[in-house]
Amino acid sequence: MKLVLTVTFALLTFCGTLFAQQAIQLNDPDMSRGSSLMQSLQQRKSVRSYSEKPLSTQDLSDLLWAAYGVNRPDEKKRTIPTASNVQDIDLYLFTAEGIYLYDASENMLNPVLEGDFRAEAGIQDFVGTAPVTIVIVSDLSRYRRGDEAARRRYAAMHTGSVSQNISLFCAANNMGTVAIGMLDYDAVKERLGLSETQIVKLSHPVGFLE
């Protein structure tokens, strides 16, 4: 049985170095939380101001699972469709303590860098103070056919699906978010140490509503 961590980000800041150097086992997603789909669609909006309330491990578990988690473990299929099931998307989580890569198959956050790089996930000031920001990356090398132009078109479609999942989850759970296209893509790519085939697509700051 996987270890379940219930300590919040607020508590984890007391051991920032340890936090940023160790993988975090996420909780199983809570399938009972949130409002209905129709209510979420009605409430969905772009939000650029967030409460200082931290996201708990359960909040992150549910948010990331909704965005791009494994919803059919036997088939290793995700909460979004991808062309020929290439699963080209990676999600990087920027926090005050460090950057993490979401491992959906193991339901974990793996450390990438220690430090607060939230401000680099968007050029607007509010991005740097959002509790967390999700950066969406597509790896074109995972495609098995098609030229680069076709791969980029599919990557844009997949990014849109993840973006909408994040937005609907937030709308259903008293959280706010907005899709950010205004960021220094090359700087983020360099910060994350991405390869030439890995393309930064969007970022999503997330926090509770004020």
Q: Say how far apart CA 45 and CA 59 lie, in whole Å.
A: 19
Per-residue pLDDT of 163-173, as tens digits, reads 999 999 999 99
CA angle 163-164-170, nearest 5°? Answer: 95
Pairing of strands 70-72, 132-139: unpaired
Per-residue pLDDT of 45-71, as tens digits, reads 999 999 999 999 999 999 999 999 999
| Paired tokens of 106 | 């193991």
Residue type, 172: A
pLDDT for the residue 21 = 66
Q: Say how far apart CA 59 and CA 54 lie, in whole Å.
A: 9
